[in-house]
Amino acid sequence: MYSRITITSIICLMYSSTLAQKNKFAVWNTLQLPVKLAEKWQLHNDVSYRTLGGSFSAYQFTFRTGIRYFINPHFTATIGIAEFNTRTSFNKQTKEFAKEFRVWQELNYEAKISTTAKLINRLRIEERHFFITNIKSAYNALRLRYRLAIAKTFLNKWTATLSDEYMGQFIKGDYAFQQNRLGTSLAHQLSPKTQIQIGYIWSFLKNENIHYATLSLQKSFN
């Protein structure tokens, strides 16, 4: 009985917190183009285009690349760079985009739970360099990200995933919570080298929530 009351209280608190914050919606489109360089080496490439609501107007567009090393079939290490361009407000009338350059490092480990299910752990570190805009001065940040996901494959070609990602960052030596992302997705393997995925991400920050509908296409190359 006590546990039911506690769970209900937590849900109500989360719901009231969501209502009190600003809610935004975006469509997150991604194209991933990994290229196999050698037996244990891969070139990571992805581009994304995030919209303002259901419109075609850009909220953010990104490019990320990096070199990935397969320590073993379940454990990888990656280092790379990225460029992000983000509209300075969630408003179509705002024409200015803030430019960000990133250097990033990542460790990814997959642990089998069963023959069709696995846990995916991802730790990512990002050195973020923001350029000056009309509303903000240039600044740097160090962001730490940890993502835990569980993936279940069924009917051979379908994979359902649930994930939670925490992000915190240092700015001028001070550490603070940056955002948390809860997500779910469904992927279909069209061919051995092609996969399509749809999903939903709830990103909650200190003063706002962003709800993403996600669509991604991955095409692998040897």
| Average pLDDT per block of 10 residues along the chain, 222 residues long | 44 43 90 98 98 92 98 98 96 95 99 97 99 96 99 97 99 97 98 98 94 98 94
Is the Cβ–Cβ distance between 94 and 87 less than 8 Å? Answer: yes
* Residue 31 structure tokens: 């194209």
Tell the CATH topology of 23-219.
Lipocalin (2.40.128)
The predicted structure's pLDDT at residue 22: 77
The predicted structure's pLDDT at residue 21: 52
The predicted structure's pLDDT at residue 11: 43
The predicted structure's pLDDT at residue 15: 46
Coil, strand or helix: which one is 17? helix
Between CA 178 and CA 208 the distance in angstroms is: 11
The predicted structure's pLDDT at residue 107: 99
2 CB neighbour count, 10 Å cutoff: 6
The predicted structure's pLDDT at residue 206: 87
Q: Beta partners for 65?
A: 45, 81
